[in-house]
């Protein structure tokens, strides 16, 4: 019976890998026309329905009930499979199909709304997505707080009560520290010196350098690739076909560099998953907090360190010799660790202001789930919190409530808290290593 469990779940996982590939294609190279978007949404909805049928089948249920196994990984695999089956069988197939279609349409609407800097273009599909999320939460965890039910999909066992013990303490300590940093002058290493990461840098050369850095950090290009998308992400078909993306700015080297290193961390975790159990629950990411711990360990613990500045300087001098002639590792280190003022965009922020971006989003998600915040009020609430937490005046939706891709693809609520949880895990992992 246990072999039947593994066979059915393995088949479902292979179809999920094709769904992942279709999702990557949609975000990276799919034609931008309405017809392509509708066709992809319909295809993803059909595929999601087929996968759901496999993962809720009577055959799988019987095999799970009869299965016995030995060995720590197999026992864990069976436990996770039973938990997933119990949750999946509470959700009707039609809801799964509709969610897949709405999330695909949500991404397309978000791209257009972001380009126009007009939240009203995105609000209708976000409302659909939120209502579906609430309905699903009521089914999979009846009687449980809806936010907790959604959060559990990203960070098993985490609750808003626990977040409310952790996040306010960090927020209250960081906010005054940021104000003190802002009151200080430029870092000594940058006094009288131009920030070497600012200027004009050929985007194609940035892409070539980013690829080389990813390889030197351990990314296996025979099992993955690096491309460009509106918002950086890591996806693909599993450990042997990992697709990561980043984005570049001609006038800011830091965005492409940190984006690449962050996604490389995700990709290394994916490529390092257990080969023996590929396609099985026990081989999947333990949680998004753990996943983010790996991306942030590389982006923050490693890439912002002094030793890494020496490595990075050699790469920059080889790619942009004129721009980095005479630049010291200390200057580069200071530039990489500058606290942004203003800190407007989450993915461009520094490690000091970053948590406040997460707390803002988490508080908004809590309000959306308990009904105290309406979708149409999100831009105003966002701008209000950005001013209160970071002293930033948001002038348009693209730089405010529309800056992140997550809500468009159904990651509402629950994903954002895992970034700060992941950074906490990363620090402990790094200090223990």
Residues labelled catalytic:
263
Question: Which residues are bridge partners to 131 per DSSP?
Answer: none
Task: Give the C-alpha distances (Å, rounded to integers) separating 187 from 184, 331, 354.
Answer: 8, 9, 19
**Phi, psi of 187, rounded to the nearest 5 degrees:** -50, 140
Are the C-beta atoms of residues 419 and 292 closer than 8 Å to each other?
yes
**Phi, psi of 327, rounded to the nearest 5 degrees:** -75, 135
In sequence order, what DSSP letters do the residues of 37-57 get, joined into one string?
Answer: HHHHHHHHHHHHHHHHHHHT-
Burial 293-306 (b: 16+ CB within 10 A, else e): bbbbbbbbbbbbbe
- Residue 220 Cα to chain centre, angstroms: 21
Query: What is the C-alpha R_g of the chain?
Result: 22
Region for residue 371 given its phi and psi (left: phi exceeds 0; alpha: psi -120 to 50; beta: otherwise): left
Spatial distance between the Cα atoms of 199 and 335, rounded to a whole number of angstroms = 13
Structure tokens at 217: 């950090």
Query: Closest Cα partner for 236 from 252, 223, 246, 247?
Result: 223
- Count CB neighbours of 77 within 10 A: 23
- Residue 32 Cα to chain centre, angstroms: 23
Spatial distance between the Cα atoms of 264 and 296, rounded to a whole number of angstroms = 10
- Residue 320 Cα to chain centre, angstroms: 30
- Residue 29 Cα to chain centre, angstroms: 20
Length of the chain (residues): 433
Which residue stretches of 217-305 are H helix?
253-271, 288-296
Sorted by sequence, the CB contacts under 8 Å of residue 74 that are 6+ apart come out as 2, 282
| Residue carrying structure tokens 């001098």 | 317
């Amino acid at each position: 019976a246990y072999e039947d469990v593994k066979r059915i779940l393995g088949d479902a996982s292979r179809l999920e890998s094709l769904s992942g590939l279709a999702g990557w294609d949609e975000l990276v190279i799919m034609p931008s026309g309405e017809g392509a978007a509708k066709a992809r949404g319909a295809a993803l909805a059909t595929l999601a329905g087929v996968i759901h049928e496999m993962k809720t089948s009577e055959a799988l249920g019987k095999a799970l009930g009869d299965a016995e196994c030995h060995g720590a990984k197999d026992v864990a695999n069976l436990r996770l499979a039973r938990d997933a089956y119990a949750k999946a069988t509470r959700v009707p197939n039609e809801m799964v199909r509709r969610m897949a279609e709405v999330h695909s349409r949500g991404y397309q609407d978000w791209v257009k709304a972001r380009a126009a800097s007009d939240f009203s273009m995105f609000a209708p599909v976000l409302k659909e997505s939120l209502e579906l999320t609430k309905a699903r939460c009521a089914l999979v965890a009846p009687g449980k707080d809806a936010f907790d039910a959604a959060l559990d999909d990203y960070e098993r066992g985490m609750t808003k009560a626990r977040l409310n013990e952790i996040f306010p303490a960090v927020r209250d300590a960081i906010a005054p520290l940021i104000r003190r940093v802002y009151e200080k002058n430029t870092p000594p290493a940058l006094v009288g010196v131009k920030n070497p990461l600012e200027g004009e840098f050929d985007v194609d050369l940035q892409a070539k350098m980013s690829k080389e850095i990813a390889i030197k950090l351990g990314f296996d290009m025979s099992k993955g690739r690096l491309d460009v998308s509106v918002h950086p992400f890591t996806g693909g078909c599993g450990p042997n076909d990992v697709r990561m993306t980043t984005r570049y700015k001609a006038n800011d080297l830091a965005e492409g560099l940190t984006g690449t290193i962050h996604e490389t961390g995700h990709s290394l975790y994916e490529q390092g998953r257990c080969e023996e159990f590929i396609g099985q629950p026990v081989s999947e990411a333990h949680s998004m907090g753990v996943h983010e711990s790996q991306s942030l360990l590389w982006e923050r613990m490693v890439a912002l360190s002094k030793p890494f500045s020496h490595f990075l300087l050699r790469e920059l001098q080889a790619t942009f010799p004129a721009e980095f002639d005479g630049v010291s590792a200390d200057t580069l280190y200071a530039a990489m660790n500058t606290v942004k003022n203003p800190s407007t965009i989450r993915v461009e922020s520094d490690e000091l202001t970053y948590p406040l971006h997460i707390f803002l989003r988490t508080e908004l998600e809590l309000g959306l789930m308990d009904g105290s915040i309406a979708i149409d009020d999100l831009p105003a609430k966002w701008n209000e919190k950005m001013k209160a937490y970071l002293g930033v005046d948001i002038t348009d939706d693209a730089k405010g409530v529309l800056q992140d891709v997550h809500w468009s693809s159904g990651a509402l609520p629950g994903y954002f808290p895992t970034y700060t949880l992941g950074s906490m895990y990363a620090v402990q992992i790094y200090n223990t290593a």
